Amino acid sequence: MTTIELLRQYRLGGYAIFDFAISYLGIWLLSPLLTRLFKKIRLDIPKINWLFFVLPLAIIVHILVGNFTPFTKNFLDLNGHYILKLVVLISLVLGFRGVKIIKK
């Protein structure tokens, strides 16, 4: 068993805790750069809001690259997993709550 397999074996509700931790750590480290990049296109996205965008962005990226993880499959399932969909929707709303358009 490799190290990554060992880390991914710990799960919460069928989802690997390691994957969520790495996603949030990655966006936390990239948020200053992302905030500066989006200011160039006149959008002010606070660094904390990037943390709320992790789940919705993860679903979008996984769909675009065609990697349907259990999280993505469960989100796209029309007949269930309503709590998951609610969490992603709330996360999306909280992410957009602090976004501002910068006027020149």
- Per the CB < 8 A criterion, the answer to whether 83 and 77 are in contact is no
Spatial separation of the C-alpha atoms in residues 39 and 17, rounded to whole Å? 32
Q: What is the pLDDT of residues 21-57, one digit of tens each?
A: 999 999 999 999 999 999 999 999 999 999 999 999 9
The token pair that represents 39 in the structure block: 């200011």
Mean local confidence (pLDDT), 74-97: 96
pLDDT in tens, 7-23: 999 999 889 999 999 99
The pLDDT of residue 1 is 77
List pLDDT tens digits, range 67-83. Answer: 999 999 999 999 999 99
Transcribe 37-54 into DSSP letters: HHHHTTEE--HHHHHHTH
Q: How many domains does the chain have?
A: 1
Structural domain span for residue 18: 3-101
Residue 91's closest CA among 50, 62, 61? 50
CA dist 102 and 99 (Å) reads 10
Does the predicted model carry a pTM greater than 0.85? yes
